[in-house]
A = this chain, B = another copy of it.
Amino acid sequence: MLGLYYDGGLELRRDLPVPEPGPGEALIKVMAAGICNTDKEIARGYMDFKGIPGHEFVGVVTAADDPDLVGKRVVGEINCPCGICYLCLGGKENHCRERNTLGISGRDGAFAEYMTLPVSNLHVVPDTMPLYSAVFVEPLAACFRITEQVHISPSHRVAVLGAGKLGLMAAQVIRLNGCAVLAVGRHAHKLKILDRLGIKTVMEKDLDIRERFDVVIESSGSPDGFNLARSLVEPGGTIVQKSTFVEPLSVDISSLVVDEIRVVGSRCGPFEPAIRALMRGLVHVQELIDRRFPLEMGMQAFEYAMRDEALKVILEMKTYPAEGLRQPGELAEDSII
């Protein structure tokens, strides 16, 4: 099959074997997949990954033990835990030490025609959800992880650092709590998306450095973001750290103690709230789509996505067969987008 493959360098390959689903796994025909910042980091060597990257996807189940699942359009959680260790049994499956992670660690991902994933990871997407909204379920779930971990009160002042894909969604999710949100970015055309939604924005260079926030969401994707977050957070406040990067960071720990700052690392989140929010139109995601590329142009898609100005780049698997499967995604694509 066709797919992108990383092994020290990224390449488009036509000779990849269609994966065999293991016990409890489904075979999924990928319809569309989003390129995430983590994918870009992987293409730079993050996680020492080898294989097919990609973890934001929507696809159709083509084989599974449960016949009812076949033909269904699904999205999927990316962590595949062992299910039997004390972390799994204690409800921390996403932190299982034996886990592999779709397209990130130990498991081939979604930038190919077919992929596999345990059935227990799958969430059926409502038929009326547009194909290109479904691609955002995974990163949107990561935004709902913030409010799962940290109580954001309607009286809080919250700053969201970074107007990339994650920041643009996080600002919308945080706003649902009724609090005052300020989104801080470096690209006017990205902030404009939030302006149109009525969310207050400011260019980082124009930020009033005397302003302080109860909660700062660090989703800038840049190591500088942490220290900016530190300078913006109120004493007793919280920094939610979303960005990952390879370099270690020099941190003034004493200042965290004196000001009693709380730093909360935040990763993957719950899918169902993300699906509900999309279905109810509470979060706008299609505005974040910058450009769609067919899988055949995967290399160009990555090159395009690497630009600082880029927003969400989506790979489309146009070759999916019509072997009698219902393909609501196609319908959605034609009729709704």
- The residues of A with any CB-CB pair to B shorter than 8 Å are 87, 92, 94-95, 149, 223, 226, 234-236, 241-246, 248-254, 256-267
Contact = CB atoms under 8 A, between A and B. Distances in A.
A234 to B, nearest CB: 8
A264 B263 CA distance: 6
A266 B257 contact: yes
B241 A248 contact: no
Given A87-B235, A92-B236, A95-B235, A256 B248 contact: no
B267 A257 contact: yes
A330 B71 CA distance: 85
30 contacts: A92-B234, A92-B235, A94-B260, A95-B235, A95-B236, A95-B260, A149-B260, A226-B253, A241-B253, A241-B256, A242-B257, A244-B254, A244-B257, A244-B258, A245-B253, A245-B254, A246-B254, A248-B251, A248-B252, A248-B253, A249-B250, A250-B250, A253-B265, A256-B263, A256-B265, A257-B265, A257-B267, A258-B267, A262-B263, A262-B264
A262 B262 contact: yes
Contacts of A246: 254
Q: This chain: how many copies in the complex?
A: 2
A267 B253 CA distance: 12
Contact of A265 (B94, B226, B262): B262
A267 B260 contact: yes
Contacts of A259: 95, 265
B254 A251 contact: no
Contacts of A261: 265
A282 to B, nearest CB: 25
A119 B242 CA distance: 44
A234 B262 CA distance: 17
A262 B146 CA distance: 12
B260 A249 contact: no
A262 B145 CA distance: 14
Contacts of A264: 260, 262-263
Contact of A260 (B236, B251, B265): B265
Contacts of A223: 253
Q: Nearest 10 pairs between A and B by C-beta?
A: A95-B235, A256-B265, A244-B254, A257-B265, A263-B263, A251-B251, A260-B265, A248-B250, A261-B265, A249-B253
Contacts of A244: 253-254, 257-258
A267 B248 CA distance: 26
A243 B256 CA distance: 10
Nearest to A91: B236
A116 to B, nearest CB: 23
A243 B265 contact: no
Contacts of A254: 244-246
A250 B267 CA distance: 21
Most B CB within 10 A of own CB, among A242, A245, A253: A253
A247 to B, nearest CB: 9
A267 B262 CA distance: 12
